Chains A and B, each alone.
Chain A
Amino acid sequence: MTVIKNISENNFEQCLKCSVCTVYCPVLAVNPAYPGPKQAGPDGERYRLKDPQFYDEALKYCLNCKRCELACPSGVKIGDIIQLARIKYSKQRPGLREIMLANTDIMGSIATRMAPIVNTSLKLTPVKKVMDGVLGISSHAKFPQYAGERFETWYKKNAAQEQKQYAKQVSYFHGCYANYNYPKLSKDLVKIMNAIGYGVQLLDKEKCCGVALIANMQSAQAKKQGLVNIASIRKAKAEGRVTLTTSTTCTFTMRDEYEHLLGIDNHDVKESIQLATKFIYELIERQGVRLAFRSDYKKRIAYHTPCHMEKLGWAIYSTSLMRMIPGVDFVMLDSQCCGISGTYGFKKENYPYSQKIGEGLFKQIESLKVDLVATDCETCKWQIEMSTTAPVENPISIIADALDVEATKALNSIK
């Protein structure tokens, strides 16, 4: 047998130049200043290897949605190539805006303490004008509201004690949004997990996953935070708990971006980071867990697949769970990017493109006349709420709202 040698291990060289990625790039369709995934990724990489001077700052327009990677028939990690090039070559340094947008932990801690003031002022026209003019944060953007009490605080006061009674335990990485802005989502998860007999524990230490730091040129800080998170998740695993999440972006960042972009070794805990809907679905499928739903829950719900959910390939778990609710009239939206990409759409220069990218999605949502849009990503939620008349919920909240807790406990023999 002849052994074929000399096969390229350089991922960017496996590009056959078929250009299908350019068709799937949501940015290229609306912003001619962006070179597109093929040019910015594998094509540009050859030039950057020749001379770093060929780095093009227009790579900042990449949303990091990874739709190019999904489209690529040759398995080229185009999005990673682009993000790594930004980390390695960009000479732009984060300004005040980038630091504010990216450090969700610090901003969240301050804002939750002064929630009523922050929430009101973020809506005031003069404040918006100052943010627009001075910081370059679009005055059109609506910021998520801050909650008066963080989930962590609530949990320690009201839930920590009773979690111990459950025989089975999971850990929960709530992320910034479900901590500072929307603790209801976290509480909803606790509600569901308790109903099927699982206690929910916080991680030893949880930091922001760092996705916004990576996007805003602060990857060194992202790595520091990532190492803390992975250590906590590793400890939970050692103690027999998987770590559940309710945000696709945090999940994707910790599972894939940590390894590919930040060089964090997470191979031993990757499978231990699970989106809650996937975990629950698999319990139903494999371990006979059952859910009971209220008969008075009646809603027409459309599901939007976040880009990172598309990349994870897990939308099927969230949608299958929602389809189990008898009163749900379920509609699957076309898979397209909403345009927000975390902090991207908040920036003044990106705002018009961000809206244009999401245009098709917004129109489809309006045309379907639904009660609710469901999606697993908080930033998609902001964008859709900002750009349509539809309210948006995480599938976990929808299941929690529709759940008949007592009946579920009975079905699963939980006292």
Chain B
Amino acid sequence: MTDETIKQYDVIVIGGGITGAGTARDCAMRGLKTLLVERYDLTTGATGRNHGLLHSGARYAVTDHESAEECISENMILRSIARHCVEETDGLFITLPEDDLAYQATFIESCLRAGIKAEAIDPAEARILEPAVNKDLIGAVKVPDGAVDPFRLTMANVYDARMHGADVLTYHEVVGMEKDGDRVVGVKLLNHHNHQTKIVHAAITINAAGIWGQKIVQMAGAQIGMFPAKGALLVFGHRVNNVVINRCRKPANADILVPGDTVCVIGTTSDRVPFDTVDDMRVTPEEVDVLLREGEKLAPCLATTRILRAYAGVRPLVAADNDPSGRNISRGIVCLDHEERDGIPGFITITGGKLMTYRLMAEWATDMACRKLGIDKKCATATTPLYGSELKAGETRGKKTYSIGEKVAFRAAEGRHGTLSKDVPKADIYDNALVCECEQVTVGEVKYAIENLNVHNMLNLRRRTRVAMGTCQGELCMCRAAGILAKSEGNAAKAQVDLVEFVNERWHGMYPVGWADTLCEGQFTSMIYEGLCGLNVFDKK
């Protein structure tokens, strides 16, 4: 255990989820010397485990006016600054015969009050707009929902922060807070790769660690009441819908179906879970049942669509300070000045909120940091496109048309990396060969990700490129990707261990829906990796 060189930063941001990434970008853009630290990989927590819904805010319009207003405002901002992470699909709020149609009027009125363009359309029109929708619907409202890829959005913010001079350390866990008296002056980091610790100093430390932020606050010597709420979701094999489908009723289980990239996702459930389970989320058969039962009401064809996997995330709900029991839960943004609140200078916590409002959360936290540092610089994140989302000269927003002969994989890569896809090597036949056939990822794109997108292992690679996220869940591509990683790191033994873990990670998500084609796929995968490649998958766990 040795201490490496101590580096002085203006700001350390803890947490490689969307909030941390956005905060690091904002800080770096305002000229602060910034370090982003993440215990494992970017998007490991709640950021990588949600719907990927670009909320219009309509879902919150009736119950939470403030959140609805924030959502629609950020929705419009993301469409212009993160267009390669966003799909402008629109959304429907449908009323089924068992629902109260009278709710629709309240809903539309609340949407309009929050500035959300909500328009009642004829059920017949809704059936044409989205042919997968339940044909029995008796009412429909069209809203500006969309899809957002949280992996892509986070990586784009991290990349952007790096381009503005920020340092990023993944697989570095905060194991202690460095204090000078009451003041937080830095953090102690444990490097999970070499198991060494180091101390890094900064004038301000921003805790953006989501549900895990509770521990960070404790390390700093204060308390915060967080209540983990588990949400389970199912991924289907292809897009059955191209328009988001919601139920027009009070938010409940499994009432949103979001098309995202090549798949669609139904969710979620919502259950309070004990804090000590947040690192090991498992989807139960009961949750799968409720997701299917309710999901089929939105789009009956889900009943006969292949299910790829199940996953669950944890919403970081924060108890109001005056109510430690957690009865009065806020879903809004919570930005805590611990100097004012707990007498701990140099420490800020940004939490609550949602994926949709990450940029605003980052703005609040960075504003507070700047105030403390005496820096007067305005936030520019709402108007500056992220790297990858810049408009080329003469280009307008909207769908691009492709010429004949452009490889499907190149188009797919452009979807994933925006204008940065120009850096994906495609000079020769090897670079253009496919690693992942389901998701159209080339050798060149894998190489690009390894070099540019903080990739150390297969799991990182999956989140950056969609390798192994398609129909076969890695059956064909895992081995190929592991080969490229082994080559780039010159360490085949490490790549093999990594491969075993990754095979298990894929199966972990397939297991809760392991029947029919998905079961066959799992069995075939096991035959290849265990039988053919001799990888003793099951002994390792």
Contacts and interface: CB of A to CB of B under 8 A. Distances in A.
Interface of A: 4-10, 12-19, 35, 38-39, 42-47, 49-51, 53-54, 56-58, 74
B40 to A, nearest CB: 29
B238 A45 contact: yes
Contacts of B242: 50
Nearest to B519: A4
23 contacts: A4-B516, A6-B307, A6-B515, A7-B304, A7-B516, A8-B305, A10-B237, A10-B305, A12-B238, A13-B305, A14-B306, A16-B517, A16-B520, A43-B471, A47-B408, A49-B238, A50-B239, A50-B259, A53-B399, A53-B401, A54-B411, A54-B412, A74-B520
The listed residue with most B CB atoms (<10 A of its CB), out of A8, A19, A44, is A8
Nearest to A92: B404
Interface string B482-523: 000000000000000000000000000000000111001100
Given A13-B306, A50-B261, A8 B471 contact: no
A172 to B, nearest CB: 42
Contacts of B275: none
Contacts of A19: 476
Interface of B: 237-239, 242, 259, 261-262, 292, 302-307, 399-402, 404-405, 407-408, 411-412, 434, 437-438, 440, 470-472, 475-476, 515-517, 520-521, 524
A74 B520 CA distance: 10
Contacts of A56: 407-408
A9 B405 contact: no
Contact of A54 (B408, B471, B516, B520): B408
B516 A53 contact: no
Contacts of B401: 53
A58 B405 CA distance: 7
A123 B77 CA distance: 67
Nearest to A35: B408
Contacts of A44: 408
Contacts, number: 100
Contact of B237 (A13, A39, A57, A58): A13
A7 B399 CA distance: 34
A35 B239 CA distance: 22
Nearest to A17: B472
Contacts of B520: 16, 74
B414 to A, nearest CB: 11
Contacts of A15: 471
Given A17-B476, A46-B238, A8 B517 contact: yes
Contact of B262 (A16, A39, A50): A50
B470 A46 contact: yes
Given A16-B524, A17-B438, 16 more contacts: A6-B307, A8-B304, A10-B238, A10-B304, A13-B306, A16-B472, A16-B521, A17-B437, A17-B521, A19-B476, A39-B408, A43-B471, A44-B408, A47-B262, A50-B259, A54-B412
B205 to A, nearest CB: 42
A13 B471 contact: yes
Given A7-B516, A46-B237, A46-B438, A18 B471 contact: no
A268 B250 CA distance: 51
Nearest to B402: A53
A143 B402 CA distance: 37
Contacts of A5: 292, 303
Given A13-B238, A17-B438, A46-B238, A6 B521 contact: no
A41 to B, nearest CB: 11
B520 to A, nearest CB: 6
A35 B292 CA distance: 35
B258 to A, nearest CB: 13
